[in-house]
Amino acid sequence: MAKIIKELLDSRDISKYLDGIADVDAEWDLYEIDTVEWVAAGDNGIAINERGSERCLIKYELWDGPPPPIDSWDRSWSGSVRLTSGKVFAMSGYSGGTSYGEEFDLGRPDSVWQVRVHRKSLAHEEFTPEIVSFTLLKLQFWPGSLQAGLNNSTLTLQL
């Protein structure tokens, strides 16, 4: 069974509006990722469409293998991402400014990571998610396979 290696609950409140999670050495690559769905990954970033939430809190987890599924959250997404530095942070932009969350170090540069994003909108009784406008996100990372990084690449071996 997979075990958690390290975790970080980002104490910085992401306000208006989360753009996604970016590699600290290639943050602008995040804006090259097209988000047709609520989450999409590309090189050096995970674009997360949370434009409906005024505030987000993010927890990062690093696992030694695939974590067990979580069914109690509103939505989940799984995929892979290649990260140049192996260090990530949340980015949000509003009124021409960019703000950043805490840095989470995955410990391995130039690697492909499997990632699962879980989302939960807070609400209670008549306080609907639209009124509360607060979202929790949990990102779980674990080492990716070589094949995961070869989605659109060609591998040439010399013998």
Assign 153 a pLDDT band (cuts: 50, 70, 90): very low
The pLDDT tens digits of the residues spanning 91-101 come to 987 777 888 99
Neighbours of 63 (CB within 10 A): 19
In the predicted model, is pLDDT for residue 61 greater than 50? yes
107: left (phi over 0), alpha (psi -120 to 50) or beta: left
Most confident region among 69-73, 90-94, 122-126 by mean pLDDT: 69-73
pLDDT confidence bin for 146, thresholds 50/70/90: low
Domain 4-150 part of CATH 2.60.34.30: yes
Peptide bond into 17 cis (omega under 30): yes
CA pair distance 58, 109, nearest whole angstrom: 22
Decide which of 84 and 49 is more confident. Answer: 84
pLDDT digits (tens, 9 = 90+) for 14-45: 776 789 999 999 999 999 998 778 899 999 99
